Amino acid sequence: MVLGLLDAGVPGSERALAAALAPLRKKYKLAPRKAQLLHAYRSLLSTGHLDKRCVPLEEVLTTKASKSQSGVLVVTVLTSPYPSVAGGKKQRFSCKWNCYYCPNEPGQPRSYLRDEPAVLRANQNQFDAVMQFTERCATLAQNGHPVDKVELLVLGGTWASYPLEYREAFCRDLYYAANTFWQRADKRPRRSLLEEQTLNESAATKIIGLTLETRPDTIDEDEIRLLRSYGCTRVQLGVQHVDAAVLDRVNRGHGRAETATALRLLKDACYKVDIHLMPNLPGATPAVDLAMFDAVLYDEDLQADQWKIYPCEVTPWTVIKKWFDEGSYVPYAEDALVELLMDVKSRVHPWIRLNRVVRDIPSNYILGGVDAPNLREDILVAMRRRGLRCKCIRCRENLGRSRANRDGVLARRSGEKLVRGAVLTRRFYRASGGDEHFLSFETRDQHTIFGFVRLRLPDSKAAPAAAFESLRDCALIRELHVYGQLAPAATKSTRLASRLFDSQQHRGFGRRLMEDAEAIAAHAGFRKIAVIAGIGTRDYYRRMGYVLVPDGGYLIKDLATPPFFAKLALAYAAILAFAVAVVLFGGDADGATPLRGLVLR
């Protein structure tokens, strides 16, 4: 059937694939899945029956292609509900707090429910880090996704509630799983965390980012140092709300001040920061939730890089279920929630990525609150009808052919035209005691983004992060990301990779963004610039002159060398020449500081 597809002409879209398969299914009386066709195609390649790859066929046979179209392959694993401690004993909790909206299902890590997709996989693998990673990556590889650049997302309970030895062993095992992924049998023994990290720098499957989730009130200098020792590059903070009365009502245990402190400490240590926000909690109204969103949009002390919006849903094993059953907690109407989220999405800053608008909880668990798994799509449809547009990063990502157009050939040409028209856009805003520069390649209408870098210039050059002496007098590159179909790092020619995979990943966008960030940092008087790099990306930055330092595992580059200043003069002249527009974002809100953003094109 694969040979028949090739003989009939390579299908360039889902529609063309279905049309080409119809007569073949009838002829052979078979109805194989795309993964089976892809396996057969790979067998033909490995046995020499095909003398060269057919990348368009690989693309159209890839299942759920969007999973690798954001430039990374995200793999989610969960920690155990009963982590082992010294002596082989089991700790009987995964979070020492008791927030009233948070489910505590027996046998599951706190806040997670067994039938959620990632949780189900974790249970099937006994919450073992190696088994979870291997099973998930094997499935993704079978479905056509390259698994050489993986971003890890660790969920389950509260990270700081787990024993220190469990945390270190869990992270060690993730690097070990990546390092030995292609060894199907007779795998070597595990080594230390540091040794596995060092091996991962050159492994076939690299960990390019590690995200851990915790609470704002667990963040201090000691915790930040621990997070860096694991190779953590992004932290998810369960902020949930900023209204003191709402937080007290649900027994959250921290307030707005702890959130602001955590955001500042993490950013000054170069971390990327995501926050979770929960409208419709007990005690909240649409007006209270609007004030919360205004605060995280316009208060300089509450700026985050990514959001996950989780409207409160009543589930079993929670205190609020009792309130809901008694009638003392009645969520406000879904229509009011939709109106609120439409307003918020239309005002989200273009430097924020809105990852989620509703949590993926199976409907059989939801007893009250919003029960609409497609809420984000419903909101976007309603916004389009009103002429509104969301400017968040996720809504502007160039995700390849499937989003651009159902006709593969036309979409490929359209995507190429978009990339050729990309322009460097510079935005500036204040956040958490520092200047944030969001530099990106976008289309001129700013509707599509191809890549970006987050540059932070802390107000205090002397010691921006007391936890790390290595960051003294350092500008901070907190994130570099180039979107488009994930192009395998193993492809020898980067120019060929770009052409084969119709991707922005190997077009030089990343290097040009880094050079622009370095020029801005040097002009601001910083003598060094640091990158918080995933273990598997260290060689990429080394090729640009960055050096790994033991203190925090950052990669740092000296900006004070004479050759650099020669390049700086040219680069900064270009910045001034292309500064053509100033746009002010934000406005006054009750209790919120106006947040201003400067756009230079």
With beta carbons less than 8 A apart as the criterion, state whether 163 and 91 touch. Answer: yes
Query: What's the pTM value of the predicted model, to 2 decimals?
Result: 0.85
pLDDT at 185: 72
Fold of 215-395: Transcription Regulator spoIIAA (3.30.750)
Q: Count other Cβ atoms within 10 Å, centred on residue 74.
A: 15
Q: Within 13 Å of residue 344, how many CA atoms lie on the same side as its CB?
A: 28
Residue numbers in the chain where pLDDT is lower than 50: 68, 401-413, 490-503, 506, 566, 577-598, 600-601
**353-356 and 597-600 beta bridge pairing:** unpaired
What is the CB neighbour count within 10 angstroms for residue 464? 26
The distance from CA 4 to its chain's CA centroid, rounded to whole angstroms, is: 39
User: Hey, what amino acid is at 353?
Assistant: R
Is residue 212 within 8 A of residue 534, CB to CB? The reply is no
Residues forming CATH 3.40.630.30 domain(s) in the chain = 397-600
Residue pair 235/564 in contact (Cβ under 8 Å)? The answer is: no
pLDDT number for residue 406: 38
- Torsion sign across C-alpha atoms 358, 363, 365, 366: positive
Helices 129-142 and 117-124, axial angle in degrees (round to 10): 120
The CA distance from 555 to 541, in Å, is: 7
The residues near 431 (Cβ < 8 Å, ≥ 6 apart) are: 263, 267, 300, 301, 303
Give ranges for CATH 3.30.750.200 in the chain: 215-395
User: How far is 108 from 122, CA to CA, in rounded Å?
Assistant: 10
Tokens of 429: 């805003």
Q: Tokens for 329?
A: 């907690």
Q: What is the pLDDT of residue 88?
A: 78
Determine whether domain 397-600 maps to CATH 3.40.630.30.
Answer: yes
Q: Exposed e or buried b for every residue in 32-67, given b needs 16+ CB within 10 A?
A: bebbebbbebbebbeeeebeeebebbbbbbbeebeb
